[in-house]
Amino acid sequence: MSEKRVITEEDLYRIQWVNDPVISPRDSSIAYVLKKVSEKHDSYYSHIRLMNADGSQDIPYTTGEQDTSPAWSPDGSRLAFLRKKNDVHQVWIIPAHGGEAQSVTDYKHGVSAFQWAPDGSALLVKTEIDEQCHEAKNIKQSEPSSLPEEIIVNRIKYKSDGSGLWNNRRQHLFITDLANQTSTQLTTGPHDIGSFAWSPDGQNIAYTSNIVSESHPDPDQRLTNDLFVTDRSGTSSKQLTDGGLSIDSVSYTPDGQSILMLADDLNCGFATLTKIHLIPVDGGECHKLYEDLDIQLGHACVSDMRAGAGTSPVFSKDKKSVYVQFSQNGGVHVGRFFLDGSRHEVVISGDREIYQFALTPDENIIFAAADPLQPGDLFTYQNAAGTETRLTWCNEDLLSEIKLSEPEMFTFDTADGWPIQGWIVKPVDFIEGSKVPAILEIHGGPQAMYGHTFMHEFQLLAAAGYAVFYTNPRGGHGYGQVHVNTVRGDYGGRDYQDLMEAVDYVLKTYSFIDESRLGVTGGSYGGFMTNWIVGHTDRFKAAVTQRSISNWISFYGISDIGYFFTEDQIWGNPWEHLEKLWKHSPLAYVSQVHTPLLILHGEEDLRCPIEQGEQLFVALKRLNKETQLVRFPGADHNLSRSGHPHLRVRRLHHIVRWFKEHIEI
């Protein structure tokens, strides 16, 4: 056997991603999505695979170039999925025994999400419709003009990262009858539909939206939404909540008498922990379950392997409890929460990120999980026996070739007595007794967390000869409400102190770290903090800021979330709190920067627009500081996780290059 090599940037092209496991109610066979980079490295391909419940006979099931979102029919006889064709996604259905897949929808702007009706006779689909015509049928368009056309903007929420400028469309619900291929529109109006669910008897649909009302004349100005129920014809709709919740997902309870919501009341703004809420379908008081439970429900772990993750709540076979993911202490786990609020229990845990799961008919759990040494695979958990079996080994060929460095976890107490969790990764070919440079990594959000998961960027730096350390300072999820709420109104305060004390702890505890050869990097909020750090200390020899924030004053008006995020996180706006916003802006301290700073930014980033990086770059150049700006064309805020494969590789290259140029190995 040949000696293993270190990981490279280009190994991204060989990684395969496992997603969306779904279980057949007929024979417990598992369909799942396998995504990989195309051979030309210009895009991603994904197809659906099928295997037996024990992981045997794992075979390709669909042949499209981009097939996603599989869902079994209620009787397990058919599998529906989304297939991209002609630049839009439509629902296709394939028989359980295999054969030719058939397209069953033909919406003008495609389908973004769908659910089977409980009896399998229809699909509930969400699609975009042109606001001026309020229907999804093909509309005859006027001949395009060769002259430039102006764009008239009336909404404050007129752009969105990943989507671009608002296209004058709204997301609405339709029912597609599979027998006669007819489509019935359920919702309409100048608002968008969020989460949705069928009632168990198939006669009603619950959904969330943000509808114009007397108390909310401009829904774009509010941060909450509401729950509605409509009958199957769409003629009778009823609002169940009063505008006090921000609702993430909705599901009918198995008895059809209540609707379960994962939601928060914004008591701590965007830092508010998500809770389970139950509300009667006929209206009435909404009950918050496990109100005193100080954990974040849902998936909050960041990784450069995926841009989004998570599974909606799944009810137990006995209908008395619900399985929900939760994020705690750097791990994403699966818990069971009883609907009477009496108790909850951890079902699957461990030092890993469980990013999706599904329940089998006999209540075993199929889950997708990653850990620091593998990007993600499928596992089965036998609920009764408490045993676990791995089902797939999708990246085994690549992992058998490369050397990885396993992170070591640590915890330290800050000066004010607050415990902070972190990890350190030694260089891959570390020699005992040697002194090595180290890179501090800072996560985005800040309402997120680093955890027990695979990070290509960290392993690449370790392969290049650097130790890598990363922590979850205050402001992030995983450690309760006080921890995540502390940063609000104090960006650059306690969070910065936590990070600097983490550096002090690492230098004191790990004698192999050379304090004269430190680097720092981070993206989004981590980019903000990188900018802040180099304006407040010279202890780092080099820094790389990614998709960052440098100026809260301009961020307020240029980011797709700027106006409400700035008010929630910095507690101010430019016309009343100009001094406060400037005080918390890294650009205000640019004259104090002496650290060579590389600025990486996507040109299509609307979350932290490239203007933020440009301001910082121009100021640094004007002051004759050492800096460089790298622009990624066509890249949005998710470049590092789901962007163009080639640009993801180039991004990694520039990070390592900059540190090598400025920090001696």
User: Three-state DSSP class for 86?
Assistant: coil
637 tagged catalytic: yes
Amino acid (one-letter) located at 253: T
Which tokens hold the place of 479? 């450690």
Q: Which helix (H) or strand (E) holds 499?
A: helix 494-509
Q: Which of 258, 524, 559, 585 is catalytic?
A: 524
Query: How many residues comprise the chain?
Result: 665
Distance CA 612, CA 601 (A): 9
Tokens read off for 10: 């280009």
Instruction: Give the integer Cα–Cα distance in Å for 634 and 43.
Output: 13
For 584-644, where are the alpha helices, taking DSSP H only? 610-622, 639-642
Measured in whole angstroms, the distance separating CA 116 from the mean position of its chain's CA atoms is 25
Question: For residue 647, how many other CB atoms are within 10 A of its CB?
Answer: 16
Q: DSSP secondary-structure letter at 66? A: B
Answer yes or no: are the C-beta atoms of 88 and 71 closer than 8 Å: no
Structure tokens at 198: 């069928």
Task: List the catalytic residue out of 172, 483, 637, 662.
Answer: 637
3-state secondary structure of 650: helix
Catalytic annotation on 121? no
CA 652, CA 637: separation in Å to the nearest integer?
15
104 Cβ partners below 8 Å, 6+ apart?
80, 90, 91, 92, 93, 123, 176, 178, 181
Pairing of strands 597-602, 542-546: parallel
**Contact residues for 235 (Cβ-Cβ < 8 A; gap 6+):** none
β partners of residue 260: 251, 278
Tokens representing residue 287 in the block: 């009950």
What are the residue ranges of helices labelled H in 559-605?
562-569, 578-583
Asked if residues 654 and 600 have their Cβ atoms less than 8 Å apart, the reply is: yes
How far, in Å, CA of 163 to CA of 606, rounded? 9
Under 8 Å CB-to-CB from 618, ≥6 apart: which residues? none
| Neighbouring-strand partners of residue 409 | 423
**Contact predicate 521/441, CB 8 Å:** yes
* Strand ranges (E), 97-225: 102-103, 113-116, 122-130, 159-160, 164-165, 169-177, 182-185, 193-198, 204-209
CB atoms inside a 10 Å sphere around CB 244: 12
Residues contacting residue 568 through CB under 8 Å, at least 6 positions apart: 223, 269, 270, 488
CA atoms within 13 A on the CB side of 280: 4
Task: Tell me which residues are annotated as active site.
Answer: 524, 637
